[in-house]
Structure 1
Amino acid sequence: MFNLFGKKPTVQEQQRETDKALRKVGRDIERDRRGLEREEKKLELEIKKLAKEGDHEGCKILAKQLVQLRKQKTRTYAASSKVQSIGVSNKAMGANMKLANAMSTTAKTMQDMNRIMKPEQVAADMRAFGQASMKMDMTDEMINETLDDMLTESGDEEEQDQVMQKVLDEIGIEISGKMATAPSAHKGKLGESSKAELPTDEEIEAQLAKLKS
């Protein structure tokens, strides 16, 4: 069996052709049954006519024909039921084929993804990422602590008090009573005492080099 292009039809094409043929058979059976029903009515009328005329022999002959006709009509109902059952099975087979194809495609896709992604490598990469991220966090924390230690000197607290006092003086707020116990600020320009004690750029770079080693 080949299609119009001379190629062997696919399973889906065969399923559609089968479904089409079954529908045609069903229509033919229905048409035959309607014809038998018309013949049945004619025979019934003819039998009644012969009975009125007293033709008993003719009634017997026609009665036999009527019995055979009714048996044939019963067969058409059985045939229609069988065709419908085959049609349902055909549709179910088509649905199963679609499901099987979908599962096959999904399985192939999963296999391709597993081959590309390599689960073991992905897991290893995730572990390496976690370790690198943790190491980065620890390094960042160590650098921050070191910089804090380098930049925090004993005079910072006094310098902070001096800056706060200057700001409060500028906005006209007096806190002489509250600041009675605070250490006295260094004389001179703001920041002179702390600038002399800050580490140089060379010292900071040396400390960072130690952390990287």
Structure 2
Amino acid sequence: MDFFKKKPTVEQQVRQNDRVLKKQQRDMTRDRQKLEQEEKKLELEIKKAAKQGNKQAATILAKQLINLRKQKTKSYAMGTKISAIGNQQKLMHSNMKMANAMGTTTKTMTEMNKVMDPQKMAKTMQEFSKESTKMEMTEEMIDDTLDDILCESGDEEEQDAIVNQVLDEIGIEISGKMVNAPSAIRGDLGESSKKGVSDSDIEQQLAALKDL
């Protein structure tokens, strides 16, 4: 049946060992207390034998007292040793936890390094930079082409009408603030296109807006 018994975990084994060590400490403490009681009895008996002048009995009792005290000293030393073993076990357990944590961290880093192929990432970033540059160049070419097409239309009157209409709208919104500013040419798109607007008129309108 012991073959099928489940092996305890490290934490369980540490707790079990700690219970055993504590029990041994308690047993040794009780033994020392008994030795101390016996020591006091021997001291009284030695004094009694000395008063009676019984040197032989006092000598025998003194030897027993010496052995008893040696035993008590050994008990204290063993108790210190057991306490040190308990502390050492706790330190070992703590080191094992740190080692396990390092092992888990190492495994995680290994998996991440497998996923994060530096060469592949560098290639991806290079391709991204390349395609981004091509897109910017394409956009610039399209913008230049559109500008050429619009400029080749030759419809300057229509452009003047649009500018004039924008100035009219601005003048309507801020008419109360443009008392001293040159008045914009008002009217719909058709009227504005007929009257037209000169470059100097536009400059005056913009200068007046800047002063607001």
Q: Which moved more, 1:44-53 or 1:12-21?
A: 12-21
**Structure 1: distance between partners of 2:44 and 2:124:** 91
Q: Tell me the CA shift for residue 46 of structure 1.
A: 1.5
Deviation at 1:32, TM superposition (A): 1.2
Quote the offset at 1:149 in angstroms: 3.8
Q: Which moved more, 1:6-15 or 1:29-38?
A: 6-15
1:91 aligns with 2:98: no
Task: Between 114-123 and 66-75, report the one with greater CA deviation.
Answer: 114-123
Structure 2 contact 39–69 (Cα < 8 Å) conserved: yes
Give how far 1:81 is off: 1.4
d(CA) in 2 for partners of 1:128, 1:24: 70
Identical-residue share of aligned pairs (%): 47
> Match of 2:122, SS?
helix
Aligned to 1:119: 118
Deviates more, 1:24-33 or 1:152-161: 152-161
Letter aligned with residue 175 of structure 1: P
User: Counterparts of 1:93 and 1:149 in 2: how far apart (Å)?
Assistant: 80
Corresponding residue of 2:138: 139
CA deviations on 1:143-191 (whole Å, 9 max, x unpaired) are 3343344334662763455335644775486527xx9xxxxxxx95345
Query: d(CA) in 2 for partners of 1:120 and 1:165?
Result: 57
Alignment length, in residue pairs?
A: 183
1:24 aligns with 2:26: no
Distance (whole Å) between structure 1 residues aligned to residue 170 and residue 113 of structure 2:
68
Is residue 103 from structure 1 mapped to residue 102 from structure 2 by the alignment?
yes
Name which of structure 1's ranges 42-51 and 5-14 shifts more when overlaid on structure 2: 5-14
1:42 offset after TM fit, Å?
Answer: 1.3
Alignment correspondent of 2:160: 158
Root mean square deviation, CA, Å? 3.3
Equivalent residues in 2 for 1:1-213, closer than 5 Å = 6-152=5-151, 155=156, 158-159=160-161, 161-163=163-165, 166-167=168-169, 171=175, 175=182, 189-190=191-192
Give the counterpart letter for 2:25 in structure 1.
G
Task: Say if 1:23 and 1:146 are closer, same or farther in 2 by CA, change over 3 A.
Answer: farther
Separation of aligned partners in 2, 1:18 and 1:168: 89
C-alpha displacement of 1:13: 3.1
The offset of 1:74, in angstroms, is: 0.5
TM-score, normalised to structure 1's length?
Answer: 0.70
Opposite residue 163 of structure 1, the aligned amino acid is: Q
Mark the runs of 5 or more structure 1 residues left unpaired by the alignment: 180-186, 193-213
| Structure 1 position 69, deviation (Å) | 0.4
Q: Residues 65, 169 of structure 1: CA spacing in aligned structure 2 closer, same or farther, 3 A cutoff?
A: closer
Unaligned runs of 5+ in 2: 195-212
Larger helix percent: 2
2:170 and 2:27 mapped to 1: Cα distance?
A: 106
Whole-Å Cα distance in 1 between the matches of residues 165 and 122 of structure 2?
Answer: 54
Quick one: higher RCO (CA 8 Å, sep 6+), 1 or 2?
1
- Aligned equivalents of 1:24 and 1:123: distance in 2? 63
The residue matched to 2:103 in structure 1 has which SS? Answer: helix
The runs of at least 4 aligned residues of structure 1 exceeding 6 Å deviation read: none
Structure 2 CA distance for aligned equivalents of residues 188 and 13 of structure 1: 94
Confirm or deny: 8 A CA contact 2:160 2:193 kept in the other structure: no
Q: Which secondary structure does the structure 2 equivalent of 1:189 belong to? A: helix
8 Å CA contact 2:14, 2:93 repeated in 1: yes
